[in-house]
């Protein structure tokens, strides 16, 4: 049912308006109010389809009532026709438009004009309601799709991490002496990356690469990997192939990060003394420099078939002596800073991650 609200301080005017509307729009329901505040209250309660509003009223005039109706989310969309004997004054029309009125009508009211204006307002209201409804549906749909997309993205990320974990386990099964090494290295590397306040996506790349950085060792005979005592030059040249093999294994996976290059470069050193390609400072990714330092720290702390674990002091000496020569100076400073604060340590890394 069409609902119309008429607001006027004069009872006789309300009676006339009500009669006209009932006669020419028989299906509508007309509510009346004799002041601005009462009209606002009824508009909020009934949500009418159109409001007829007198301008000249005591206490709260039509302009203020109109403004208040427009600023209230419950009533701001209801069309308002301002009624007054002085509606033809340009100043009043300007004030009425500024207050948010949609149309004006002069008193005494002409019934033909009243019905035509009300019907025009009802048409506008109907099409605006339809638009608003469609927009609400669209917004809801966008929200639902966004949530779905976020959830499926999280699912893909979880799957990626699980795949990385399986790959990491594979190489560690073959080389039990480095079991947990990749995970502990990943812990050190992400602690450094986080302390350096790197972009979260770079931190993620470092974590992923560190978790599988030795995957190329899968191609090295177990006898060499697990050989007690010193390894010879031929065996070492085979071991030096593992970054290249790791890079080749990972290459077919379309990671959103340069995981293959980070792995390829994790034994490269600033002065070109590293392997496999002997590239130097400017050519090595920051991610690989962080992984390189973390790898050295973890490897020195761990027992290997060919040597016992090195002391903490040996590890610190290695990093300090070769800071700026083999290892990135900023990465070393951050790593040693974290170490001194107790945020990474041989014991903590071993206990948390094995």
Part of the chain binding Fe ion (CB under 5 A), chosen from 39-47, 150-158, 185-193, 207-215 = 207-215
Are 87 and 94 spatial neighbours (Cβ–Cβ below 8 Å)? no
Q: Measured from the CB atom, is 214 or 298 closer to Fe ion?
A: 214
Helices (H), strands (E): how many in the chain? 15, 5
Q: Measured from the CB atom, is 54 or 175 closer to Fe ion?
A: 175
Round to whole Å and give the CA distance between 15 and 90.
28
Part of the chain binding Fe ion (CB under 5 A), chosen from 63-71, 137-145, 212-220, 228-236 = 212-220
How distant is the alpha carbon of residue 180 from its chain centre? Answer: 33
DSSP summary character for residue 76: T
| Sign of the Cα pseudo-torsion (59, 61, 63, 69, in order) | positive
Q: Measured from the CB atom, is 61 or 214 closer to Fe ion?
A: 214
Round to whole Å and give the CA distance between 319 and 316.
5
Work out whether 172 is an interface residue with Fe ion (CB under 5 A): no
Q: Measured from the CB atom, is 43 or 293 closer to Fe ion?
A: 293
Q: Per-residue contact track with Fe ion, 27 to 56, x per CB under 5 A? A: ------------------------------
Least CB distance to Fe ion at residue 146 (A): 41
According to DSSP, the β-strands at 80-84 and 103-106 are parallel
Q: Measured from the CB atom, is 92 or 294 closer to Fe ion?
A: 294
Rg of the chain (C-alpha set): 39
Least CB distance to Fe ion at residue 155 (A): 31
Least CB distance to Fe ion at residue 142 (A): 46
Are 99 and 70 spatial neighbours (Cβ–Cβ below 8 Å)? yes
Least CB distance to Fe ion at residue 239 (A): 8
Number of residues that bind Fe ion (CB under 5 A): 1
What tokens appear for 10 in the block? 């004069």
Least CB distance to Fe ion at residue 181 (A): 9
Part of the chain binding Fe ion (CB under 5 A), chosen from 1-9, 131-139, 155-163, 213-221 = 213-221
| Sign of the Cα pseudo-torsion (290, 292, 297, 298, in order) | positive
Q: Measured from the CB atom, is 67 or 248 closer to Fe ion?
A: 248
Please identify which residue in 8, 175, 214, 287 interacts with Fe ion, judged by CB under 5 A.
214
Part of the chain binding Fe ion (CB under 5 A), chosen from 8-16, 97-105, 214-222, 279-287 = 214-222
Q: Residue 191 burial by CB count (10 A; 0-12/13-18/19+): exposed, middle or buried?
A: buried
Least CB distance to Fe ion at residue 188 (A): 14
Residue in the shown chain whose Cβ atom is closest to Fe ion = 214
Least CB distance to Fe ion at residue 152 (A): 34
Which one of the listed residues 125, 204, 217, 289 is annotated catalytic? 217
Round to whole Å and give the CA distance between 137 and 202.
38
Query: How many CA atoms are closer than 13 Å to the CA of 98, on its beta-carbon side?
Result: 8
For residue 283, report the phi and psi dihedrals to the nearest 5 degrees.
Answer: -90, -10
What tokens appear for 346 in the block? 């041989």
Part of the chain binding Fe ion (CB under 5 A), chosen from 87-95, 97-105, 164-172, 208-216 = 208-216
Give the dihedral of Cα atoms 74, 80, 86, 87; nearest 10 deg: 140
For residue 32, report the phi and psi dihedrals to the nearest 5 degrees.
Answer: -125, 155
Q: Measured from the CB atom, is 214 or 260 closer to Fe ion?
A: 214
Placement of tokens 């973390």 in the chain: 294
Round to whole Å and give the CA distance between 84 and 104.
8
323 annotated active-site: no
Catalytically active residues are: 217
- Contacting positions for Fe ion (CB under 5 A): 214
């Amino acid at each position: 049912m069409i609902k119309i609200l008429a607001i006027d301080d004069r009872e006789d005017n309300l009676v006339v308006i009500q009669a006209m509307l009932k006669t020419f729009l028989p299906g509508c329901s007309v509510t009346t109010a004799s002041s601005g505040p009462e009209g606002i209250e009824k508009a909020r309660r009934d949500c009418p389809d159109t409001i007829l509003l007198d301008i000249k009223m005591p206490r709260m005039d039509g302009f203020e009532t109109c403004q208040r109706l427009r600023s209230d989310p419950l009533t701001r969309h209801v069309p308002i026709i301002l009624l007054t004997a002085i509606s033809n004054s340009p100043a009043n029309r300007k004030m009425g438009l500024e207050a948010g009125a949609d149309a004006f009508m002069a008193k005494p009211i002409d019934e033909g004009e009243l019905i035509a204006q009300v019907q025009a307002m009802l048409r506008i209201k109907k099409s605006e309601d339809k638009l608003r409804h469609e927009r609400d549906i669209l917004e809801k749909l966008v929200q639902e799709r966004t949530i779905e997309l976020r959830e499926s993205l999280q699912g893909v990320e979880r799957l990626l991490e699980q795949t990385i974990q399986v790959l990491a386990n594979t190489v560690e099964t073959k080389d039990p002496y480095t079991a947990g090494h990749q995970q502990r290295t990943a812990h050190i590397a992400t602690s450094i990356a986080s302390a350096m306040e790197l972009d979260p996506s770079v931190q993620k790349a470092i974590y992923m690469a560190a978790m599988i950085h030795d995957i190329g060792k899968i191609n090295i005979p177990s006898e060499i990997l697990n050989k007690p005592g010193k390894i010879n030059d031929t065996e070492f040249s085979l071991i030096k192939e593992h970054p290249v093999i790791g890079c080749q294994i990972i290459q077919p996976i379309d990671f959103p990060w340069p995981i293959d290059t980070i792995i390829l470069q994790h034994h490269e050193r600033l002065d070109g003394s590293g392997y496999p390609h002997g590239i130097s400072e400017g050519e090595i990714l920051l991610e690989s420099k962080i992984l390189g330092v973390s790898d050295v720290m973890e490897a020195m702390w761990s027992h290997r078939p060919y040597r016992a674990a090195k002391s903490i002091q040996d590890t610190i000496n290695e990093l300090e002596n070769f800071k700026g020569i083999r290892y990135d100076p900023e990465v070393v400073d951050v790593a040693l800073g974290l170490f001194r604060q107790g945020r990474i340590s041989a014991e903590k890394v071993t206990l948390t991650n094995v």
